[in-house]
Chain A
Amino acid sequence: MRHAFSVRIGPVGFRIGSDWRAPIAELESLYRDYPKPRDGIPDFTVRLFARRPWRRFVRPSVEIGGDYMLPEAAPLPLRQGLLAAEMAMNLQMALGARRYLLLHASAVERDGRALLMTGISGAGKSTLATLLAAKGWRFMGDEFALLDPATGLIHAFPRLISLKNDAIAAAEAAWPQARMGPLMPATPKGDIRHMVPDSRAIAAMDTLATPALLLFPRYGFDAEARPVPPAEAFVRMTQASTNYVALGEAGFGALTGLIAGVPSVAIDYPDGASAIKQVEALWSAL
């Protein structure tokens, strides 16, 4: 393709090709401190392309492609090219990854132990991970935690943090020095702005962590915590994994091992400050 960029995020290498320069330039800038794929060989290829040649210029709209495609995926306007790139990278991971059990969860680490936070979009996965990282936790990822079936350890996947709507201001307040991508208002997911994880998160991206706590946060309610029974946690995590079925036995072993090995807790929280207190209390009680 005309323009291309490679990057490694945690153990996963990507190559992104594009018909346009702009999204690649944004990726190069935001991912400038990240390593390149090991041996120069990416695991996944992403393509951002114009469906018709003239659509490179006339109301340019970005189609998402790669090794794995969603035929119904709607194109995005070029000004949301960075979002298209991130969505395409997520799509390749979600559909293609076989080496790890993909948990749709954010993750932070302290003392070699990982806190996993999962939930529906808007539950506060990204926000909580960002706020906890500002309090000294190591940021491991805001979208996917990679559970290694062979070891039961968590690999970091610290891609750009995808902040939505209210989370943008909250993260900017917690990380005033952070490098940010362009604000993309009114995308299909609302207002979106990407934030570069802090330098420690990038430098330590190859450091694994032992899962220690599985959290199901829910934003917008009075502070409360309840233990989640193992069977419920198991079912929710099969739903929160994009490749549980594809992994077969390895996925079953990895997930039942995780559920048996760590406590699962659901927390409701009214705001970030309260959530941090709740997390710290749960963590110190482990």
Chain B
Amino acid sequence: MSGTIFWGPPDNGLLIAPLDEFTAVYHRASGITHLLTEPAPQILAVLGEGPVLLDALLARLAQDFDLTDGTREALAARLDELVEAGLVERT
């Protein structure tokens, strides 16, 4: 998985409306509305900048969050969910 590259919709591919602990995300390509919680919106924001490796994504998120030991697995799980939802693609 460490060699897997992830990417998301470009900046203008999503409409994002923070509600409370949930953020409403409209995916233009599919017309589907998603409700996401942290860290999914932050992941999408990073992936919107361009394709990244998992480690690079972790490093980028670490700039904004305190990442702990279990983070890598948790992040991979969140990425899987985003892939499943059709919001993120991977090699």
Contact = CB atoms under 8 A, between A and B. Distances in A.
Interface residues of B, number: 12
Interface string A222-257: 000000011100110010000001001100110010
A40 to B, nearest CB: 35
Given A230-B19, A231-B19, A256 B31 contact: no
A252 B17 contact: yes
Given A231-B35, A235-B35, A249 B28 contact: yes
Interface of B: 15, 17, 19-22, 24, 26, 28, 31, 33, 35
Given A252-B15, A260-B17, A234 B31 contact: no
Given A234-B24, A252-B24, A252-B26, A259 B19 contact: yes
A246 to B, nearest CB: 9
Contacts of A235: 35
B59 to A, nearest CB: 30
B4 to A, nearest CB: 30
The 4 tightest CB contacts between A and B, nearest first, are: A231-B22, A256-B17, A230-B19, A252-B26
Given A231-B35, A235-B35, A249-B15, A256 B28 contact: no
Nearest to B33: A252
Contacts, number: 34
10 contacts: A230-B20, A231-B19, A234-B22, A234-B24, A249-B26, A249-B28, A253-B15, A256-B17, A256-B19, A256-B24
A248 B15 CA distance: 11
B17 A248 contact: no
Contacts of A252: 15, 17, 24, 26, 33
A68 to B, nearest CB: 20
Contact of B33 (A229, A230, A238, A260): A238
Contacts of B26: 249, 252
Contacts of B22: 230-231, 234
A259 B24 CA distance: 11
Contacts of A231: 19-22, 24, 35
Contacts of B20: 229-231
Task: Pick from A230, A245, A249 the residue with the most CB of B within 10 Å.
Answer: A230
